[in-house]
Amino acid sequence: MLSKEKPSSSDKLRTEKPSKLIVNLSIPAMIGIFVMALYNLVDMFYISLAEGVDAVAGLTVSFPVMMIVMTLAAAVGVGTSSVIARRLGEKRFNESNKILGTYIYLLLLISIVSILVGIFLLDDLLILFGATENIIGYASAYMLPILLGFIFVSFSMATNIVIRAEGNAKFAMYAMIIPAILNITLDPILIFDFGFGLGVMGAGIATVISHAIMSIIILIYYHKGYSSLTIHLNYIRMRISTLKEIIAIGFPTFCNRQVEFNSFR
């Protein structure tokens, strides 16, 4: 899975033909998105079998809360990928690593906010989005583990955008497919009575575990030098100049995705 790259996997973004790049970058992304969509359907299927219609309604109500935090993390990923891609094109590799450190710092901040929301505001938000007395328990049980473990979900989902920006679309595809397969595998074990019998909460825990495993694989990917970038602990801090660049690209993405989501509601 982790095939060793050339010294800079971003080199092919400058040297390959645009037509070949479009194919090499788009097809893995399409496959990854398809598998992610499939796993969401399977998630709903398992929960409907185990808990019934009310549980599915609870998941539907929890979806807006999940979309807000996930879109925020994705927007940070999109903004970061744009900034890093430009730095890599200029061969400013050390600065690219610093930008990656700021990106991780931002994900940590978003994760802290999601934990606070999960502990103090989750039920209020679910009621705001239409949860009723008979479904709020299901919605809360599903969202609580996801919000508490959101650092893994955000890092796994958003970092594949950054990895794709440096030209490694194949591994970015793996970063989407592996959690989906793990989630589909863990769901019945955690949800149904023949396993742990956790019901809806089991589905949320399965999501966190699958993304936690993928997060470890991504860290190995960076640590072993398969990427053009390297994660340095000393670089994981806030840089205002980098933050401004990330927001300039990421904030419109956040707004666009929220508008798209609301148009489908």
Q: What is the pLDDT along the chain (265 residues), one digit of tens a residue?
A: 554 444 445 556 566 667 666 666 677 767 766 776 777 788 889 999 999 999 999 998 998 888 888 889 989 999 999 999 999 888 898 999 999 999 999 999 999 999 999 999 999 999 999 999 999 999 999 999 999 999 999 999 899 889 988 888 889 889 988 999 999 999 999 999 989 999 999 999 999 999 999 999 999 999 998 898 999 999 999 999 999 999 999 998 888 876 665 555 5
Task: Give the start-to-end residue ranges of the domains of the chain.
Answer: 16-264
Contact partners, residue 176, CB within 8 Å, separation at least 6: 32, 33, 35, 36, 157, 160
**Nearest residue to 101 via CA among 221, 238, 244:** 238
Q: Report the C-alpha gap between 108 and 96 in whole angstroms.
A: 19
Quote the tokens at residue 200: 């809806």
| Side chain identity at residue 226, one-letter code | Y
Q: Which long-range contacts (CB under 8 A, 24 or more apart) does 122-129 make?
A: 122/65, 122/147, 125/65, 126/61, 126/62, 126/65, 129/61, 129/62, 129/64, 129/65
Q: Report the C-alpha gap between 144 and 117 in whole angstroms.
A: 9
